[in-house]
Structure 1
Amino acid sequence: MSLLQGVLMRIRYAAAACAGLALLASSTGCTVPEAGSTGITVTADGQPVGVLMVCHHHIDAAVLYTGDGGDESEDVGSWSRAQPAGGFVTWPLRTGGAGWSVDRQPPATLERQRTYVLYGATEDNSWSTTDVSFTLAHLAALTPGRVRYFAGEVPGADDDGYLTASTEDFRADACEDD
């Protein structure tokens, strides 16, 4: 092998390595690290209540949107806190409270065939919580003290990984992986 062939081979290897790195970099998206979990429950009269278990860092906002996060998604509710939330917090979606202010009022009546997604966030997009998706049918099946949340592939979870359990179980499960 001549010196020129050796140099050309090294250039090819370097170009292939750079192309591979560029492909890898372009296929990974920017994600916000998770600081905890989100759940949904209801009041005695069936009104939705947001539930967060903040395991570390803080959460100072929450967003409710429709759809799957794609082009058809639409933000339909948002809340913020003057003091960041830590630990276990709940708030009525319709009225806010418990430190939460309603920034964008959610619909007075949720649509029957629509999927809603709720998650906690930070104003600077540094942290978020796992989201919870729900429909009116999911809310109708809940009772106070029972929380729907994403648990992954665990016994009792539905095909999408959502589990309905007691508030105590949600609190225990939420920070299990942290």
Structure 2
Amino acid sequence: MPIRRAPLVAIATAAAAAGAAPLLSGCTVPVAGVAGVTVGKDGSPVGVIAMCEEHVDGATLHTDAEDPGAQEDAGVWKHDGPITGLTTWPLASPGDGWTAEKPFGRLAPGQAYRMYAWTEDDSWSTSGVSFTTEDLAALTPGQVRYGADDMIGTAPLEDFREKACEGF
């Protein structure tokens, strides 16, 4: 499936709008940032979080399925302090304050995954990023994939850092 490139500001605006929906409906956690994924020099996946407001405490990567009951965690990470601003971490070997609560395993070719960040008290989250191993193979180090569904985009890390929060 080709990557549909969307302007980063459109992703941030959509994430901010999604964050306002819970205030009206009370159904989900408010969105205060944007999650993304990139690859290291060796091609291994690296998580990326840009917080626009507030903070998050950790991140989860799960199989992407329409039925939430069919989703399985592929990795869960917790940070030793609140995450604000921009952070990155290698999914297979976290460091710099990251601890793997559920160690990251191998990604299955053809399986869709989704990663997002959260707070322990469910007060804030980030938008999620959907991807497959094929999507990761198309990235170069420092190129961030962000967004979900029909709002997928890629941007160099510096552009992601500068523009992720424009819609908040």
- TM score, norm. by length of structure 1: 0.76
Give the aligned residue type for 1:79. Answer: W
Question: Which sections of structure 1, spanning at least 5 residues, go unmatched?
Answer: 1-27, 153-158
Task: Please tell me whether residue 61 in structure 1 is matched to residue 58 in structure 2.
Answer: yes
SS, match of residue 129 in structure 1:
strand
- Give the one of 77, 83, 98 matched to 2:75: 77
Q: Deviations over 1:48-82 (max 9, x none)?
A: 00000011111111000002352321112100012
Give the aligned residue type for 2:72. Answer: E
Task: Please tell me whether residue 171 in structure 1 is matched to residue 164 in structure 2.
Answer: no
Contact 1:91 1:100 in 2 (8 A): yes
Give the aligned residue type for 1:133. Answer: S
What is the number of equivalent residue pairs in this alignment? Answer: 143
Counterpart for residue 11 of structure 1: none
SS, match of residue 162 in structure 2:
helix
Aligned identity (percent) is 49
Moved over 4 A (4+): none
Structure 2: distance between partners of 1:144 and 1:32? 31
Give the aligned residue type for 2:119. Answer: T
Counterpart for residue 124 of structure 2: 127
Contact 1:90 1:98 in 2 (8 A): no
Who wins on radius of gyration, i.e. which is larger? 1
Counterpart for residue 102 of structure 1: 100
- TM score, norm. by length of structure 2: 0.81
Pick which of 160-169 and 28-37 moved more: 28-37
CA RMSD between the two structures = 1.5
- 1:29 offset after TM fit, Å? 5.5
- 1:128 offset after TM fit, Å? 0.3
Contact 1:58 1:84 in 2 (8 A): yes
Q: Return the structure number with greater relative CO, CA threshold 8 A, min gap 6.
A: 2
Structure 2: distance between partners of 1:84 and 1:160? 30
- 1:172 offset after TM fit, Å? 2.4
Contact 1:35 1:54 in 2 (8 A): yes
